[in-house]
Amino acid sequence: GLGYTLPWLERFGTDAERVFAFMPATQGAVVWPATGPTATALVFDEELPLVDSCIDRMLLVHSLEHVENPRETLNEIWRVLSPAGRVVIVVPNRRGVWARFEHTPFGNGRPFSRGQLTELLREANFTPAAWSDALFFPPSKRRFMMRFHNVLERAGRRLWPIFSGVIVVEAQKRLYQGVPVVQRASRRVFVPVLSPHGATRLGRHKTDAKPSAARVTAS
């Protein structure tokens, strides 16, 4: 996990061989888990302390919207992911309400739209595989609103899906891709100058006309 992913990483338990919680230096780190060896580390998101192709899954929450260069961060994640690796990214939705209020967890940083996130992933050699949305209920400070969050969440998915609070995308690491070449500006075929050409009819008329003119002048 990169960012604040502890609530989700705790659910893996013994299903995973090992779990790491990397926290960007600008956010700070906390000790996790409470018992046993610490699995958290304070890192620089563009230089993760991992060897190439050693991670199967990467989860980003409260991360990509805060990094200095999202493209470089995704390039680094591509490096540490295994050939069949996948990354799950949770980012604030640019159209959503949660990104417009500073008191919300997603009210800071850089929000994204689906199009922006798709372009960013493709530039970093990732292929988006699955999309999802969440946080359809309004970010209210009143506690009684939490009683209706299930109703508002279901209604939001049906009535206003483009205004979700966050966008969730799962992308797969891409190993091979086509290299773009310079597009040919014109499809005209150019003939070499020194190649033989047949004489045109106009050229023959001009050739025949010259002797006639000469004979008139001589006479």
pTM of the predicted protein model: 0.74
How far from the centroid of its chain's Cα atoms is residue 89's Cα? 10
Of residues 137, 139, 133, 140, the one with CA closest to residue 166: 133
What tens digit of pLDDT does each residue of 51-61 get? 999 999 999 99
Overall CATH class of domain 2-173: alpha beta
What tens digit of pLDDT does each residue of 9-48 get? 988 767 788 899 999 887 888 888 888 888 999 999 999 9
Cβ(110)–Cβ(162) below 8 Å: no
